[in-house]
């Protein structure tokens, strides 16, 4: 048979991290001692108190049946209470919180509720590839908002053409930012709310890294901003905060109409997250936060080690105050892909080329702080042999 894929599937770019993993596996087969600083997947284990809660929950027969696609009221209440403690938000667990199967799932699905053929979606670049991919699946048109170092890696809202702004349905934002590690101020979020209300644009804020902060910095929620609840929805993930990447659980919060629309999509495309995992998520959200502080201490040491090493060998970077990524300039005269290819071939180091996140990422690369300090020091020594 001649199987024909749809045009939307044919338009999809190769998923960046799948290609990185393929190259890594090729190197491993050759016997290379690979130091993987590519994908942001924590090497630290999920805390025992979360694992133990999961073990108990798995044994309970009540959790062996279909869950609710919006999540149990217990999980949604735990998420609402966490947001109250963390951001001062007063959320109704019934109408303003939805359990999600990791934020990637919800980010891909949310546009299905609001984006039709030829509708415009405003997407930051460099950025998480799923913002664009979710737009393609809906038949929408991506308008890229470039993030430049001169603008502190914030989109220039004034540079968006009037005709584009008028046709835009959604704007995606992500702060603390992946891949640049940039942070957004409350003043910037105020400008975003004004833009959204002027042009009737839904603001989708991906807050996956809100708790990975250092040096006393506290990341705000977009929804803390005056008027943001009128225009926005925010996506939170337990993946990075609690080292639960493989568990696939998070929550979306915000405007009741936007949350209801996400719930309607989810009720038709998935059957919810396993309730035992939701119970483990409750244990995480109700914990005292001491685990997060210890995790941040570990990542701070790794960050300082890597940033110091990169600067010593002449690579330009800043010490990030959030996320577990270091975004740095590649040597002059080399493209991002060329440099990252050399690192793998000559030094056995996997890192992510900046242009893989979008054209403005050309000239940069991203390293993840997901290996112990000893391996980061080894990576720096290997880098000295390449540069």
Looking at the fold, whether 123 and 226 belong to one and the same domain comes out as yes
When pLDDT is cut at 50, 70 and 90, the band that residue 15 belongs to is: low
Give the DSSP per-residue string, 137-173.
HTT-EEEEEE--GGGTT---GGGS-HHHHHHEEEEEE
Looking at the fold, whether 185 and 251 belong to one and the same domain comes out as yes
Looking at the fold, whether 337 and 273 belong to one and the same domain comes out as no
pLDDT tens digit sequence for 73-96: 999 999 999 999 999 999 999 999
pTM for this model (two decimals):
0.96
The pLDDT of residue 207 is above 70: yes
Looking at the fold, whether 235 and 113 belong to one and the same domain comes out as yes
| Residue 2 belongs to a domain | no
pLDDT tens digit sequence for 119-177: 999 999 999 999 999 999 999 999 999 999 999 999 999 999 999 999 999 999 999 99
- Is-contact 117 124, C-beta < 8 A? no
d(CA 123, CA 284): 31
**Chain centroid to CA 353:** 17
Looking at the fold, whether 250 and 265 belong to one and the same domain comes out as yes
- Is-contact 365 340, C-beta < 8 A? yes
- Residue 54's φ and ψ, nearest 5 degrees, are -65, -45
Q: Which of 91, 54, 93, 88 is nearest to 76 (CA)?
A: 93
When pLDDT is cut at 50, 70 and 90, the band that residue 18 belongs to is: confident
Mean pLDDT to the nearest integer, 50-65: 98
| Residue 8 belongs to a domain | no
When pLDDT is cut at 50, 70 and 90, the band that residue 24 belongs to is: confident
- Is-contact 196 203, C-beta < 8 A? yes
Looking at the fold, whether 55 and 38 belong to one and the same domain comes out as no
Mean pLDDT to the nearest integer, 178-204: 98
When pLDDT is cut at 50, 70 and 90, the band that residue 11 belongs to is: confident
The pLDDT of residue 7 is above 90: no
| Residue 347 belongs to a domain | yes
pLDDT score recorded for residue 118: 93
The pLDDT of residue 17 is above 80: no
**DSSP β-ladder status, 141-146 and 168-173:** unpaired
| Residue 350 belongs to a domain | yes
- Is-contact 265 236, C-beta < 8 A? no
- Residue 202, Ramachandran bin (φ over 0: left; ψ between -120 and 50: alpha; else beta): beta
Looking at the fold, whether 141 and 231 belong to one and the same domain comes out as yes
Residue where a domain stops, chosen among 259, 285, 311: 285
Residue range of the domain that includes 17? 13-42+290-386
How many other β-carbons are positioned within 10 Å of the β-carbon of residue 259? 23
The pLDDT of residue 22 is above 90: no
| Residue 313 belongs to a domain | yes
Residue where a domain stops, chosen among 268, 285, 302: 285
pLDDT tens digit sequence for 369-378: 999 999 999 9
Looking at the fold, whether 22 and 167 belong to one and the same domain comes out as no
Give the DSSP per-residue string, 205-260.
EE-TTTT-B-TT--PPPGGGSTTHHHHEEEEEESTTTTT-GGG--EEEEE-HHHHH
Q: How would you label 164-197 residue by residue, b for 16+ Cβ within 10 Å and e otherwise?
A: ebeebbbbbbbbbbbbbbbbbeeebbebbbebbe
Looking at the fold, whether 305 and 276 belong to one and the same domain comes out as no
Residue where a domain stops, chosen among 285, 309, 335: 285
- Residue 260's φ and ψ, nearest 5 degrees, are -60, -40
d(CA 248, CA 239): 7
Which residue has better confidence, 335 or 387?
335
Helix (H, G, I), strand (E, B) or coil at 267: helix
| Residue 7 belongs to a domain | no
Mean pLDDT to the nearest integer, 189-209: 98
Omega of the bond prior to 103 within 30 degrees of 0, cis? Answer: no
pLDDT tens digit sequence for 224-278: 999 999 999 999 999 999 999 999 999 999 999 999 999 999 999 999 999 999 9
pLDDT score recorded for residue 158: 98
Looking at the fold, whether 68 and 204 belong to one and the same domain comes out as yes
When pLDDT is cut at 50, 70 and 90, the band that residue 16 belongs to is: low
d(CA 267, CA 286): 27
CATH number at residue 25: 3.90.1150.10
When pLDDT is cut at 50, 70 and 90, the band that residue 300 belongs to is: very high
- Structure-token pair, residue 306: 């890597």
CATH number at residue 144: 3.40.640.10
| Residue 95 belongs to a domain | yes
- For the chain, the average pLDDT equals 95
The domain total for the chain is 2
| Residue 368 belongs to a domain | yes
Looking at the fold, whether 216 and 107 belong to one and the same domain comes out as yes
How many other β-carbons are positioned within 10 Å of the β-carbon of residue 336? 23
Looking at the fold, whether 255 and 302 belong to one and the same domain comes out as no
Mean pLDDT to the nearest integer, 358-365: 97
pLDDT score recorded for residue 224: 98
């Amino acid at each position: 048979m001649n199987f024909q894929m749809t045009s939307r599937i044919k338009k999809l770019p190769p998923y960046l991290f799948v290609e990185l993993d393929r190259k890594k596996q090729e190197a491993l087969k050759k016997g290379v001692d690979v130091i993987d600083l590519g994908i942001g997947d924590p090497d630290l284990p999920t805390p025992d108190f979360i694992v133990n809660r999961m073990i108990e929950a798995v044994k309970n027969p009540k959790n062996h049946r279909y869950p609710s696609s919006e999540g149990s009221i217990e999980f949604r209440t735990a998420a609402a209470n966490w947001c109250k403690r963390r951001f001062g938000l007063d959320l109704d667990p019934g109408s303003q919180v939805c359990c999600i199967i990791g934020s990637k799932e919800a980010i891909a699905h949310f546009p299905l509720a609001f984006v039709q053929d030829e509708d415009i979606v405003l997407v930051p670049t460099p950025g998480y590839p799923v913002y664009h991919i979710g737009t393609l699946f809906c038949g929408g048109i991506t308008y890229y908002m470039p993030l430049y170092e001169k603008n502190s890696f914030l989109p220039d809202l004034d540079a968006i053409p009037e005709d584009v702004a008028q046709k835009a349905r959604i704007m995606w934002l992500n702060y603390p930012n992946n891949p640049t590690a940039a942070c957004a101020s409350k003043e910037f979020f105020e400008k975003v709310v004004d833009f959204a209300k002027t042009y009737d644009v839904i603001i989708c804020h991906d807050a996956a890294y809100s708790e990975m902060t250092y040096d006393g910095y506290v990341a705000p929620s977009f929804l803390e901003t005056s008027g943001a609840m009128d225009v926005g929805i925010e996506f939170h993930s337990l993946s990075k905060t609690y080292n639960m990447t493989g568990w696939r659980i998070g929550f979306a919060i915000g405007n009741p109409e936007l949350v209801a629309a996400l719930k309607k999509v989810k009720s038709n495309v998935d059957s919810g997250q396993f309730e035992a995992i939701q119970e483990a998520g409750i244990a995480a959200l109700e914990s005292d936060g001491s685990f997060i502080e210890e995790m941040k201490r570990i990542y701070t040491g790794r960050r300082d080690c890597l940033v110091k090493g990169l600067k010593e060998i002449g690579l330009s970077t800043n010490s990030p105050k959030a996320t577990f990524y270091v975004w740095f300039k590649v040597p002059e005269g080399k493209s991002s892909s060329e440099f990252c290819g050399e690192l793998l071939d000559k030094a056995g180091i996997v890192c992510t080329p900046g242009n893989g996140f979008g054209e403005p990422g050309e000239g940069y690369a991203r390293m993840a702080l997901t290996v112990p300090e000893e391996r980061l020091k080894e990576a720096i020594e290997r880098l000295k042999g390449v540069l």
